[in-house]
Structure 1
Amino acid sequence: MRVRVVGAGVVGLTSALRLAEAGHQVDVVAAEVGTGTTSSVAAALWYPYRAYPEADVTRWSATTYQVLRGLTADPSAGVRMRLGQELFRQHTADPWWRDAVPELGRVAAGRLPAGYVDGYELSVPVVDMATHLPWLLGRLATAGVVVRIRHLEDLAEAFEDVDAVVNCTGLGSRELVHDASLTPVRGQVIVVAQFGLTEWLLDQTDPERLVYVVPRSDTVLLGGTAEEGDEDVNVRPATTEAILDRCSRLVPALDQARILRQRVGLRPARPTVRLETEFTDRGPVVHCYGHGGAGVTLSYGCAEDVAHLVSGLS
């Protein structure tokens, strides 16, 4: 089939890649590509954050975990397995997504930082999006998929010369398909130069003022915030100072870290991920959006379902 994917974040690009691999004739149109996408701001630590329903998210996350782990064999993909800890100030049961990972241990009491009484310890993929997004674009080019920058006022415009459309526009679906259930969740992060850190740390005690320190090859990403309904994409200096303070308490060496840049992204939160086929007057649309803070974590798993749905149309 001739298929057009709308959206060039990680969900759109992985969907386009899987569709091309399934033998479809694919192109991509998007208002933003690369650093202009929300995906480029992501910490991209594999973690099913603010995404539902639980059963589907666990399945999609498990698939993505396996795909990303496999990509660690290709240095150009920008994926590494990293050991890390999620820390808690009270005793906590295993996470609902436990079945998505092969192993999940507990942090020994003697290794917990002051003020924490429990913690998970696990190895997960960490994706350097500054490397992985260009890698995906390169894979698409090799597969003959053309990516064009184009702003659509209406999804119906995407149906020119194609049999089906795949809508991966994230928060843009609020306007593009009038989905009022989408809510922006503002995330501000800091990127610092790598200083020898190899393990990630996460603390979600305060759901709006998160603490995460995620090492990549040449940089470390510090976060963050989760401000629901806040659409301000400007960096706030006071928030920067607060993030540095919170993260430095967990990793004191950050006091000397060199700040490279600061970014803000709007997570596309929704009560549930929308992954389904809609039959419109112009033709079939497979919707795949509303991934909350887990776009990278769900991407390859959702792409498999997108390809399955599209192939079922022919």
Structure 2
Amino acid sequence: MDGEVRGGRGAGDVIVLGGGVIGLSTALVLAEQGRRVRVWTRDPARATTSAVAGALWWPYRIEPEAPVGAWSLTSLRVYEQLALRPPETGVRMVPGVHAGVELGGLGPWARRLTDLRQLPAGETPGGYGSALWARLPLIDMPVHLDWLRTRLETAGAVVESREVRSLDEAAAEAPVVVNCAGLGARDLVPDPDVTPVRGQLVLVENPGIDSWFTAADDVSHLTTYFFPQPGRLILGGTAEPGERSLEPDPATAAAIVGRCAEIRPEIAGAQIIGHRVGLRPVRSKGVRLEVDPGTSATRLIHNYGHGGAGVTVAWGCAYASAALAS
């Protein structure tokens, strides 16, 4: 396939707005279906919110429940295959514990997971009343985003550094536009239901931990988790609605380390090697994945509002978007 588009509105042309995991996954599915794809992105992939993510597969605080379950399972099957080549794709299948979660409280999607079981009370870490053990995809996002970009280019797609100020800009150049702008959709659409939810992480040298742990506080913005990634252990975290600061807060970082050390004491002495802050693109009405009813000449597809679960639903939403583009 010719990877260069020289203007015009060919019948197979698609412009994807956004260079995070949602945009790149969607663009890749379209390109490998034979479409001529251009990705317009303001930031390189490693400078997007996606690059900051932990990133564990799990349908976390994302609606609507029914399609999210299907999207998540589609993504899970893709990640299981990508995990056969972890150095290349950044995807590994890693065991761990979800604390404070009951198997019966999960959606129908959970019955499709073979490596998922309720822990007996005596095996629950950190004094939590309930917990699940699971083996799930854990994605090293910088590596995975690089892999997506390389595979995109192999498929003939073009990634362009371009800040879009209006959907009309893209509509003027392609018959199909897929809006994967994340938080940018708030102003681009515009959609006031999209708001930032700030997440802060701490990166430390791994003291020998080879499994992940998560526990969310449903009544506050605090979460506790650690994810072993190659060369580091990622500690979290926060979920602060409406906060936009990208500067790491020292007190918040210290509290994160402290909470994680309550689960694994060796974390307390781990050398800190970095801090990360990202703004999750949460939409109060849930994910928007649909054809915009207000467009005609250009088919405009919205695929945004995934919050902190973009990695979890990326491939499912990509295939759903490609189906709408047909």
- Alignment TM-score, normalising by the size of structure 2: 0.91
2:256 is the counterpart of 1:237: no
CA contact (8 A) 1:87 1:202 kept: yes
CA contact (8 A) 2:281 2:307 kept: yes
Counterpart CA distance in 2 for 1:57 and 1:66 is 14
CA contact (8 A) 1:50 1:269 kept: no
1:309 corresponds to which residue?
A: 324
Counterpart CA distance in 1 for 2:200 and 2:161 is 26
Give the 5 Å matches for 1:270-281: 270=283, 271-278=285-292, 279-280=294-295
CA contact (8 A) 1:92 1:118 kept: no
Task: For residue 105 of structure 2, give the secondary structure of its aligned residue in structure 1.
Answer: coil
Give the 5 Å matches for 1:1-314: 1-75=12-86, 76-88=88-100, 93-96=104-107, 97-206=109-218, 207-270=220-283, 271-278=285-292, 279-280=294-295, 283-311=298-326
Q: CA deviation at 1:309?
A: 0.6
Deviations 1:36-59 (A, max 9, x none): 101001111001112100011100
Overall identity of the aligned pairs, in %: 43
Q: Which one-letter code corresponds to 1:35 in the other structure?
A: R
Counterpart CA distance in 1 for 2:254 and 2:275 is 11
Deviations 1:219-245 (A, max 9, x none): 111100001111111111110011011
CA contact (8 A) 2:198 2:240 kept: yes
Counterpart CA distance in 2 for 1:165 and 1:44 is 28
Q: Which one-letter code corresponds to 1:295 in the other structure?
A: G
Deviations 1:261-302 (A, max 9, x none): 111111111121000011525511110000011000000110
Q: Which one-letter code corresponds to 1:37 in the other structure?
A: T
Change (3 A) 1:114 1:39: closer
Task: For residue 305 of structure 1, give the secondary structure of its aligned residue in structure 2.
Answer: helix
Which shows bigger deviation, 190-199 or 248-257? 190-199
Task: For residue 224 of structure 1, give the secondary structure of its aligned residue in structure 2.
Answer: strand
Counterpart CA distance in 2 for 1:231 and 1:100 is 37
Q: Which one-letter code corresponds to 1:309 in the other structure?
A: L
Deviations 1:2-26 (A, max 9, x none): 0000000000000000001111110
5+ residue gaps, structure 2, are 1-11
CA contact (8 A) 1:247 1:254 kept: yes
Counterpart CA distance in 1 for 2:102 and 2:296 is 53
- Runs of 4+ aligned structure 1 residues displaced above 6 Å come to none
Q: Which one-letter code corresponds to 2:282 in the other structure?
A: A
Deviations 1:169-196 (A, max 9, x none): 0010000011011121110011122332
Counterpart CA distance in 2 for 1:273 and 1:199 is 30
Aligned residues: 310
Which shows bigger deviation, 71-80 or 158-167? 158-167
Counterpart CA distance in 1 for 2:92 and 2:127 is 30
Q: CA deviation at 1:93?
A: 3.3
CA contact (8 A) 1:27 1:147 kept: yes
Task: For residue 4 of structure 1, give the secondary structure of its aligned residue in structure 2.
Answer: strand
Counterpart CA distance in 2 for 1:26 and 1:242 is 44
CA contact (8 A) 1:78 1:129 kept: yes
Counterpart CA distance in 1 for 2:212 and 2:275 is 19
Change (3 A) 1:130 1:115: same
Q: CA deviation at 1:100?
A: 5.0
